[in-house]
Amino acid sequence: MKIIRVDMTNLKVSYQDVPNYYNDYAGRGLIAKIMNDEVDPKCDPLGPENKLILAPGMFCGTTLVNTSRISIGCKGPLTNTIKESNVGGTIGSALGKHAIKAIIFEGQPLKKGPFIFHLSKEGKAEIIEAPEVGGLRTYEFARKIFSRYGEDNSLLCIGPAGENLMKIASIQSTDVDKNPCRAAGRGGVGAAMGSKHIKGIVVEHRADSLQEFADKSLFDAAAKRFAKAVMEHPFSSQLLPALGTAGLVGPVNAMGAFPSLNARIGVFEKWERISGEKLREIIEARKGNPTHLGCSQCIIHCSNQYLDRDGSYLTGSLEYETIWAMGAMTGIDDLDIIAQLDRLSDEIGVDTMSMGVAIAVAMDAGYRSFGDTRFALEVLEEVANNTEMGNIMGDGPLSVGRHFKNPRVPVVKGQSIAAYDPRAMQGNAVTYATSPMGADHTAGNVIGEYMSGRLDPLKPDGQVDASKNAQIAMAAVDSTGLCLFASFALLSPEGAQSMLDLIKAKTGKIVDENTLGLIGIETLRLERAFNRAAGFTAKDDRLPEFFYREPLPPHNTVVLIKDEDLAKALEF
C-alpha cells in the first residue's frame, strides 16, 4: 500500500510508504488519524493549512461485495469540525485496486487553475492545469474527462458551487454509467476541494488488483459467506432492491417522524405522491430502471435511474433524503420537480439535503411560500451563478436563517439534520447532537431499533446507548469501504464472523468480537480529539432550541434527552 501526497502549493506529486502504525486504520479511521497527525485543528478550512484526504476503505479493491465506498476528509468548511464524507460510485474500488491507502492534497496553488489530478493505470500520478474546464457543470465536465482520458476511468469532481467555495458544496462521484450523480455531500467537502483549485480527480482502472492479503484463501471463503449474509437480510435483499431508499417515506411518515415544512410537522400530507411506491411506478411507466447498479461490486442495487416525461435520463438514484429535503421540507409534492432539483444539485455540486433545508428555512421565514417550485429551481441557478442570494443559500441553512432572521434552523454544528425528526426519534436526536460530524443520519441512525419495536422512539429511555452503539458501528463500517446497506449483514452471527475473518485475512490483524467496535471507538475518539482542539465543547453538542420547545405534531413531543445524558453518548 502507498500514500500519494499532492503538494498543491508547488504542484508536485510524490508516492510514500505507509508507516506501519497506520496498519489499523483505513477509510474514515485513517482520515481521523491523519487529520490529528498533520492538520492544525484551528486552521481555516479554506486555507492552505487544511488538507483534503481521500481514503478508500479497508476492503476497497478486493472481491468483497459492496466495497466501493471512499472516505473524503478535511476540516469541514460548513461545520468547522473534522469532516468525513463517504461516497460510492466506482472510484473507491478503483483506488483500492491501485493499492492506494490515501491521497493527501495539501497546500494551495497561487495559480487559479483549475487542476485535474490523474492517476494512470500504471500508477503514474500527475497534476495537470486545465483552465478550460473552470466553471463547468459536472455532467459536462464528466463527458469531457471521459472523452479525454477514456471510459475506463473513475471521476470525483466539483461543480460551480465548489469552485466558488460555497459551504454546502459537494464532491460528485461518477457511477457505473459515468454519470456524476453520487455525492459526498456533507460538510462542504466540495469547497475544501475548490479551495485547492482541484476540479477533478481521475483514476484509471486496473484490470487486476494490487491488493495484498495475509491469507487469500481465507479471504475468498469469508467474502463468499459475507455476500450470502447480505442477501439474507430482508432490508438489503428485499426493500432496497424493490423501492430503493425511498421505501422509507411510507414508514417514517407513518411514525410521524418525517420532518415536513421546515420541521413544523412530522407527517407530509401528500406523502403518497413522493413515496418509494410512487417513484417506482413513475420509473417503470417511463421504462427507466428502478433497480439500478450504481456502484462497483454492488449486489443490492438500491439505485435507480429517473427518466423525464420524454423518456430521457434526468437523474440518477433519486434518494430518500433528497426526496425529503427537496420535497417534504419545502412542501413540493411533485417527483418530477424533485428529480430536476436533484439533477441541478448534482450539476452545480451542492448537497441536496443542505440545499433543500436552506430553501425550506427561507420559505419558513416567509420569504416565499412552501411548495413554491419556481423559487426552488431559481435558487439553484442563483447558486450556480454565484450571485449574492446564491452565496447566502450556498452557504447553507444557518446562513439563510441568519439572513432572514429565522431561528428555526434544523442544524447541528452548521449541518442540517436528515429525514428523521429528532423529536419523534429521540435516539437520532442524540446522534445529531453528539456526532463529531454535526447532524448526520449516516453517523448513527437508530431507526432500525424503532422499526423492529425494540425501542420506543418517543421516550428518552435507552436512546443514548442506542445512539452510541450505532455511532460506533457506523464509524467502523465507514472504515471498511463497505456500503452501509451491506452492513446489515453484520447483525447476523454468520455475517459478523465473516467480517472478522475478512479483517484477519486481509491485514493479518489479531481479531476478536470487539475488533470492529474498537475501530469505531478509536475513530470517534480521534474525531472528538480534533474537535476539542478546534475549540468545540460539550455545549456544542446540542440541538437547536426549537426542538426542545416546539412539540412536533402528530405526537406533539419535544426532544427529551437531558444535557447530562448527551454528555454520556460518546464517553469511552
- The residue assigned the cell 500504471 is 122
- Which residue in 335, 339, 396 sits closest to 169, CA to CA? 396
Half-sphere exposure of residue 299, counting CA atoms within 13 Å on the CB side? 21
- The residue assigned the cell 450523480 is 181
**Of 40, 212, 494, 545, the one binding a second copy by CB under 8 A:** 212
Contact map string, positions 31 to 70, toward a second copy, x by CB under 8 A: --x-------------------------------------
Nearer to a second copy, 379 or 519 (CB): 519
Smallest gap from Cβ 507 to a second copy, in A, equals 6
- Which residue in 352, 84, 77 sits closest to 191, CA to CA? 77
Question: Running DSSP on this structure, what letter comes out for residue 11?
Answer: T
Under the criterion CB under 8 A, does residue 18 sit at the interface with a second copy? Answer: yes
Nearer to a second copy, 270 or 532 (CB): 532
104: helix, strand or coil: strand
Under the criterion CB under 8 A, does residue 508 sit at the interface with a second copy? Answer: yes
Under the criterion CB under 8 A, does residue 226 sit at the interface with a second copy? Answer: no
Under the criterion CB under 8 A, does residue 15 sit at the interface with a second copy? Answer: no
Determine the Cα–Cα distance for residues 413 and 411; give it in Å rounded to an integer.
6
- In sequence order, the 6+-apart residues with CB closer than 8 A to the CB of 440 are 186, 415, 418, 431, 432
Smallest gap from Cβ 29 to a second copy, in A, equals 8
Smallest gap from Cβ 110 to a second copy, in A, equals 35
- Among the listed ranges 19-27, 151-159, 185-193, 325-333, the one in contact with a second copy (CB under 8 A) is 19-27
- In sequence order, the 6+-apart residues with CB closer than 8 A to the CB of 358 are 168, 379, 393, 396, 397, 399, 400, 416
- Among the listed ranges 23-31, 131-139, 154-162, 430-438, the one in contact with a second copy (CB under 8 A) is 23-31
Site for a second copy in 403-442 (CB under 8 A): none
Burial 384-406 (b: 16+ CB within 10 A, else e): bebeebbbbbbbbbbbbbebbeb
Give ∠ CA 111-113-114 in degrees, rounded to 5: 150
In this structure, are residues 359 and 337 in contact, taking their beta carbons and an 8 Å threshold? no
Determine the Cα–Cα distance for residues 80 and 87; give it in Å rounded to an integer.
20
In this structure, are residues 520 and 476 in contact, taking their beta carbons and an 8 Å threshold? yes
Smallest gap from Cβ 497 to a second copy, in A, equals 14
Nearer to a second copy, 270 or 509 (CB): 509
- Among the listed ranges 183-191, 312-320, 483-491, 500-508, the one in contact with a second copy (CB under 8 A) is 500-508
Determine the Cα–Cα distance for residues 154 and 144; give it in Å rounded to an integer.
13
Determine the Cα–Cα distance for residues 349 and 355; give it in Å rounded to an integer.
10
Residue 140 has a CB neighbour count (10 Å cut-off) of 13
Nearer to a second copy, 47 or 508 (CB): 508
In this structure, are residues 302 and 245 in contact, taking their beta carbons and an 8 Å threshold? yes
- Among the listed ranges 16-24, 164-172, 241-249, 286-294, the one in contact with a second copy (CB under 8 A) is 16-24
Smallest gap from Cβ 217 to a second copy, in A, equals 13
Amino acid symbol at 267: V
407: helix, strand or coil: coil
Under the criterion CB under 8 A, does residue 496 sit at the interface with a second copy? Answer: no
Nearer to a second copy, 14 or 514 (CB): 514
- The residue assigned the cell 434544523 is 410
Contact map string, positions 519 to 548, toward a second copy, x by CB under 8 A: x-xx--------------------------
328 class by beta-carbon count within 10 Å (0-12 exposed, 13-18 middle, 19+ buried): buried
**Of 16, 387, 514, 556, the one binding a second copy by CB under 8 A:** 514
**Of 2, 11, 22, 410, the one binding a second copy by CB under 8 A:** 22
Nearer to a second copy, 24 or 333 (CB): 24
Under the criterion CB under 8 A, does residue 16 sit at the interface with a second copy? Answer: no
Burial 190-222 (b: 16+ CB within 10 A, else e): bbbbbbbbbbbbbbbbbeebebeeeeeeebeeb
Nearer to a second copy, 21 or 366 (CB): 21
**Of 151, 512, 564, 571, the one binding a second copy by CB under 8 A:** 512
Nearer to a second copy, 214 or 538 (CB): 214
Nearer to a second copy, 25 or 432 (CB): 25
Using CB under 8 A as the binding criterion, the count of chain residues that bind a second copy stands at 25
Give ∠ CA 318-319-321 in degrees, rounded to 5: 135
Nearer to a second copy, 464 or 521 (CB): 521
Under the criterion CB under 8 A, does residue 510 sit at the interface with a second copy? Answer: yes
Nearer to a second copy, 532 or 555 (CB): 532
**Of 265, 377, 511, 533, the one binding a second copy by CB under 8 A:** 511
Smallest gap from Cβ 334 to a second copy, in A, equals 48
Determine the Cα–Cα distance for residues 430 and 571; give it in Å rounded to an integer.
13
**Of 6, 8, 25, 92, the one binding a second copy by CB under 8 A:** 25
- Among the listed ranges 20-28, 70-78, 110-118, 480-488, the one in contact with a second copy (CB under 8 A) is 20-28
Asked whether the CA dihedral 327, 330, 336, 342 is positive or negative, the reply is negative
Under the criterion CB under 8 A, does residue 571 sit at the interface with a second copy? Answer: no
Under the criterion CB under 8 A, does residue 213 sit at the interface with a second copy? Answer: yes
Smallest gap from Cβ 503 to a second copy, in A, equals 11
Under the criterion CB under 8 A, does residue 219 sit at the interface with a second copy? Answer: no
Smallest gap from Cβ 480 to a second copy, in A, equals 14
Question: Applying CB under 8 A, which residues contact a second copy?
Answer: 1, 18-25, 33, 212-214, 506-512, 514, 518-519, 521-522
